[in-house]
């Protein structure tokens, strides 16, 4: 089967860009800049919420790193696709690195990263960085396998952080003591990742149908 052409990869790149824009955008909007909560902030922010700290709301804060994991892995896998122009593959490979490093806690030290609290995100970050280093190997992955990985991670990144945020949102509203709309970052993050998963699955089905003709 021929490799998927550049234009057919473009919707995946655009959907991933929308999802990441949402993640770095406001999930809790507020007129005061200091009270705006970005998707990027939530993994650290939620652990200080009293219902989460007390165990009243069971929460794995690491699920808020899923958009970064999905974004970095998607960028790495797309960087290995021969159907994309060379310059875009270089940019995607480079983009995967800061997305992985964004999983570092705000205040960290080499010793602190060994703590059990940070182990899941450190492992996820290491996997993402290893994928970048392994580009000469991952570029040999079949398109369908790369698409399946992208679809699975994008779906998880769309559903799990949104579910976690909606679970803790009442506690945030209580702290702010005012009604809070869902920020555009929440909607863009969920929609972008859902589109990414949809485009990846659609491309898998299309390529399967095309290959069955030969």
The number of distinct structural domains making up the chain is: 1
Residue ranges with strand state E in the chain: 26-28, 37-38
What one-character-per-residue DSSP string does 104-156 give?
Answer: S-SS--TTGGGSGGGHHHHHHHHHHHHHHHTHHHHTTS-HHHHHHHHHHHHHH
Residue 118 pLDDT exceeds 50:
yes
Residue 3 in any domain: the answer is no
The dihedral of CA 27, 38, 30, 167: what is its sign? positive
Residue 157 in any domain: the answer is yes
Instruction: Give this prediction's pTM.
Output: 0.89
**pLDDT at position 5:** 53
The answer to whether 42 touches 27, Cβ cutoff 8 Å, is: yes
The pLDDT tens digits for 174-202 are 998 888 899 999 999 999 999 999 999 99
User: How far apart are the C-alpha atoms of 24 and 38, rounded to whole Å?
Assistant: 6
Lowest mean pLDDT, pick from 108-112, 165-169, 174-178: 108-112
Residue 121 in any domain: the answer is yes
Residue 163 in any domain: the answer is yes
Residue 1 in any domain: the answer is no
Residue 146 in any domain: the answer is yes
């Amino acid at each position: 089967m021929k490799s998927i052409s550049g234009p057919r990869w473009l919707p995946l790149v655009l959907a991933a860009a929308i999802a990441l824009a949402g993640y770095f955008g406001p999930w809790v909007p507020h007129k005061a800049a200091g009270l705006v909560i970005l998707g990027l902030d939530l993994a650290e922010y939620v652990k200080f919420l009293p219902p989460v700290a007390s165990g009243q709301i069971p929460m794995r804060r690491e699920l808020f790193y899923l958009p970064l994991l999905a974004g970095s892995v998607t960028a790495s896998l797309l960087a290995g696709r021969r159907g994309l122009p060379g310059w875009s593959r270089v940019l995607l490979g480079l983009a995967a690195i800061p997305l992985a490093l964004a999983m570092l806690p705000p205040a960290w030290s080499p010793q602190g990263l060994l703590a059990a609290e940070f182990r899941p995100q450190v492992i996820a970050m290491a996997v993402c960085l290893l994928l970048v280093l392994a580009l000469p190997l991952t570029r040999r992955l079949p398109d369908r396998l790369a698409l399946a990985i992208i679809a699975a991670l994008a779906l998880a990144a769309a559903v799990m952080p949104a579910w976690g945020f909606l679970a803790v949102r009442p506690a945030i509203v209580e702290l702010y003591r005012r009604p809070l709309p869902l920020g555009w970052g929440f909607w863009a993050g969920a929609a972008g990742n859902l589109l990414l998963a949809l485009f990846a699955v659609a491309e898998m089905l299309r390529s399967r149908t095309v290959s069955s003709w030969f």
